[in-house]
Structure 1
Amino acid sequence: MAAEARYPIPEIRRGKIYRDVYAKRSPDNPALGDAHLERARIVDGTLDFGDSGVRNRAFRDGVFLLEIPPELDVSAGDAFARQFYEGPAATPYGRFRDIGSDRFGDPLLGFHQRINQIEQFLLERRFWAADYPPEIAALGEALTRLSRQVLRSVLAEVGIPEEDWRRATGGCSQCAGSYHLTFNHYRPAHEDIGLSSHKDDGFLTILRTTAPGLEVSREDHWETVPAHPDCLIVNFGLSMEILTAGSRMPVAAIMHRVARQQEDRSSFGHFSSSGCLPGEDEGIYRYVRGRGLERVCGSRELIDENDYEIYAGTDAPVAAKGARR
C-alpha cells in the first residue's frame, strides 16, 4: 500500500526509533533559510486551512501555524516560562525550580536540567490543579480543549471512522488522554545545542514561542522557524504518524530541534498523548484500511523509549561492524 510506504512505522525500541534518520540528526547540519509554514485557524470548533492544498502540505510537513484563538490568553504561560527557573527569590513562579520528580513519583515530571541547553518544568494533567497556580492550570485545560479540536479535525480528514477515534487516540479525541504542560528555558552559558533533534511521541504538540530558535527538517534539510507571536506552532508526533500511516492521507511526524542559543530563550508547550496513567495504559495503534485498528506498542513504552533517544541521544551503527544505514 503506497500510503503505508510513505511513513513506515518506526521500531519502538531503544536505539531503533531513529535508525533511518541518523544523518538528519547530526547537529553539524546547519539550517538553510527560513521555514515558510502553512497557516490555519479554528472556525466553529474545526481546524480550517482555507484550502485543501494548504491542508495537505501541512499534514505532509507535520507542522503548521495556528492563529491564537481570541478567547485563549497565553500571557500567564509566557510569564511562567520566563521565571520558573530563577529560584524562590523570583516571585511568583521562581519557586518551581526547587520542585523535583520525587514529589510526583514520576522521573519525567518536575524540574530538570538536561544535557542540552534546555531546562524544564513539566507536569502531567492529573497534577495541574493541585501543583500549578490556578492561571497556569486553566491555561493547560484550555490548550487541552484546543488540542481536541485539532485532533478531531485531523482524524476526520484522514478517514479514520469516528467510532474508532477514542481507542485510536487513547482518549485524546474526548479530552481524556494523557496531557503534559511543559515550560522551557535555554541556558546560553551552557555549551551545547539548544535541544537535540527528535520527533515528539504523542499525537500533537502545541508550542508557544516568541523568539526564533526552533528548527524543522523538511525536504531533507533543516530550516529555521521565524517567530510568529500571533500564532501557536502545532506539530505532529510519532503516535499520529503511526496511526495514520495506512490511512488515505498519512500525517508526518516532524523532526525538529532547537539551535544553540546565545541569549536566554523561553517557551512552553502542551503535549497530547495516548492515556497512560498507572495501570491504565491505552496503547498505540495503527489504522489499516479494510482491517481497522492494530496495536503497535504500549503508550508509556513509546514515551520512555523516545525520551531516552532525545536526552541521551542515539548512537549510529558502526560502519566497521557491517551495520547498514
Structure 2
Amino acid sequence: MLDFGGSGARNRAFRDGVFLLEIPSGLGVSAGDAFARQFYEGPAVAPYGRFRDIGSDHFGDPLLGFHQRINQIEQFLLERRFWAVAYPPEITALGESLTRLSRQVLCSVLSTVGIPERDWRRATGGCSQRAGSYHLTFNHYRPAYEDIGLSSHKDDGFLTILRTTAPGLEVSREDNWEAVPADPDCFIVNFGLSMEILTAGSRMPVAAIMHRVARQQDDRSSFGHFSSSGCLPGEDEGIYRYVHGSGLERVCGSRELIDENDYEIYAGTDAPDGSDTTIAPGRPDEHPTTKEVRR
C-alpha cells in the first residue's frame, strides 16, 4: 500500500493529481538517465545515440520512435510490445520495473477509493494485472529553441511515473502554475484522464493534473512511464466510470481517448529526416511524498 504519512497528504495528492514517490530500493535508474542524456545525439555517441535514427516507420505508428516535437522537446517514445526487440536489455528491464511499480500504485489507489477488487481488471483495461498498454518515453529539451518546453496538457492514461533531476515541470493548481520540485531520490507521479473518469463517482475522486514544462535555458533530460487501458490492435479494452451502487459504465474506447488527447499534445512533429509529420486526431513544498510502496 502507499504510505503518505497521513490522510491529509493522501487526500491532497488525490485532489491535486500529483505527488512525489520515493524511488524503491533496488530499482536502478542509472541506465535510464544515461539513455535520456544520449538518445538524441546521433550514432557517433555510444551506446544510445543511435536511437535518433529510429523513427516511426520502424513501428508502424506515427507517435513512436524518435521525434522532434513542436516545442523544445525531442523524444524517443516506445510501446511495451516493442521494448524487447528495440531497446537494450537494461532499458527493457527498467520499463518492466516501472510497469510493476505502476501496478502497485494503481491497485493501492483503487482500494483506497472503494472500487471493488473484482472490477479492477475491467476498470483498468488490464493495468491491475500488468496487462494494459504501457509506453516508455525519453525526453530532451533544446534550449536553443525559443519556445515553451512542452505545452500544457493532461495525460490520457491512469498514471505517469516521471524521473527528472532538474526543475522545469509545472502543474496547475487553483488556476496557478506551480513548480514541482526535482528530487533525485523520488519519482514524480501524476494521474491522467482515465483515472479521473474512472474515479469520478467513487467515494474519493482522483483528479487528472494539468501540467507543462517551462521554457528551458539549459539542456534538460528526463524519462517517464505511462500506464493506459489495453488498446492493442483489435483488443480495445475501453474506458470506464465507476458509479457507486451500480458498478462500471463504459464511457468510450481506449484508443479514442488516447488519439484525441495525443493529437492535442503532438499535432505537428518533425520526423528524423526533418520532414513534418502531422498526427491525425482520433506550491512545491506542499507536494506530499510517499515513504514506500509495499505489496
Output the TM-score relative to the length of structure 2: 0.90
Amino acid at match of 1:312: A
> Counterpart of 1:129 in 2: which secondary structure?
helix
1:91 matched to which residue of 2? 46
For these two proteins, the number of residue pairs brought into alignment is 268
Amino acid at match of 2:180: V
Task: Map residues 228-243 of structure 1 onto 2, 5 A cutoff.
Answer: 228-243=183-198
Compute the displacement of 1:310 (Å).
Answer: 1.4
CA distance in 1, matches of 2:134, 2:2: 20
> Counterpart of 2:2 in 1: which secondary structure?
strand
CA distance in 2, matches of 1:109, 1:297: 23
> Counterpart of 1:47 in 2: which secondary structure?
coil
1:249 matched to which residue of 2? 204
Amino acid at match of 1:283: G
Match for 1:283 among 234, 238, 257? 238
Instruction: For residues 186-243 of structure 1, give each alpha carbon's deviation from its aligned partner in whole angstroms, at most 9, with x where no partner exists.
Output: 0111121000000000000000000000000012100011210100000000000000
CA distance in 2, matches of 1:71, 1:158: 29
Instruction: For residues 240-268 of structure 1, give each alpha carbon's deviation from its aligned partner in whole angstroms, at most 9, with x where no partner exists.
Output: 00000000000000000000011110000
Please say if residues 196 and 311 of structure 1, whose CA atoms lie closer than 8 Å, have aligned partners that are also in contact: no
Determine if the alignment matches structure 1 residue 59 to structure 2 residue 14.
yes
Compute the displacement of 1:147 (Å).
Answer: 0.2
Amino acid at match of 1:199: K
CA distance in 2, matches of 1:115, 1:149: 34
Instruction: For residues 246-294 of structure 1, give each alpha carbon's deviation from its aligned partner in whole angstroms, at most 9, with x where no partner exists.
Output: 0000000000000001111000000000000010000000001111111
Amino acid at match of 2:168: G
CA distance in 2, matches of 1:111, 1:145: 25
Determine if the alignment matches structure 1 residue 119 to structure 2 residue 74.
yes
> Counterpart of 1:157 in 2: which secondary structure?
helix
CA distance in 1, matches of 2:195, 2:121: 13
Amino acid at match of 2:152: S
Please say if residues 207 and 267 of structure 1, whose CA atoms lie closer than 8 Å, have aligned partners that are also in contact: yes
Compute the displacement of 1:311 (Å).
Answer: 2.5
CA distance in 1, matches of 2:239, 2:159: 14
CA distance in 2, matches of 1:174, 1:226: 31
Name the stretch that deviates more: 47-56 or 88-97: 47-56
RMSD: 0.8
Sequence identity percentage: 90
Instruction: For residues 35-66 of structure 1, give each alpha carbon's deviation from its aligned partner in whole angstroms, at most 9, with x where no partner exists.
Output: xxxxxxxxxxx211121111111100100000
CA distance in 2, matches of 1:114, 1:88: 20
CA distance in 2, matches of 1:94, 1:174: 34
CA distance in 1, matches of 2:266, 2:30: 29
Compute the displacement of 1:312 (Å).
Answer: 3.3
CA distance in 2, matches of 1:71, 1:244: 31
CA distance in 1, matches of 2:192, 2:121: 17
Determine if the alignment matches structure 1 residue 194 to structure 2 residue 145.
no
1:8 matched to which residue of 2? none
Match for 2:30 among 45, 62, 75? 75
Determine if the alignment matches structure 1 residue 300 to structure 2 residue 245.
no
Amino acid at match of 2:266: Y
Match for 2:161 among 200, 206, 209? 206
CA distance in 2, matches of 1:246, 1:167: 16
CA distance in 2, matches of 1:220, 1:311: 24
Match for 1:220 among 170, 175, 178? 175
1:310 matched to which residue of 2? 265
1:172 matched to which residue of 2? 127
Q: Which structure 1 residue ranges, 4+ long, deviate > 4 Å from structure 2?
A: none
CA distance in 1, matches of 2:229, 2:29: 25
CA distance in 1, matches of 2:161, 2:60: 26
CA distance in 2, matches of 1:100, 1:284: 29
Determine if the alignment matches structure 1 residue 274 to structure 2 residue 229.
yes
Instruction: For residues 147-203 of structure 1, give each alpha carbon's deviation from its aligned partner in whole angstroms, at most 9, with x where no partner exists.
Output: 000000000000000000000000000000000000000011112100000000000
Please say if residues 109 and 124 of structure 1, whose CA atoms lie closer than 8 Å, have aligned partners that are also in contact: yes
Determine if the alignment matches structure 1 residue 146 to structure 2 residue 101.
yes
CA distance in 1, matches of 2:128, 2:83: 20
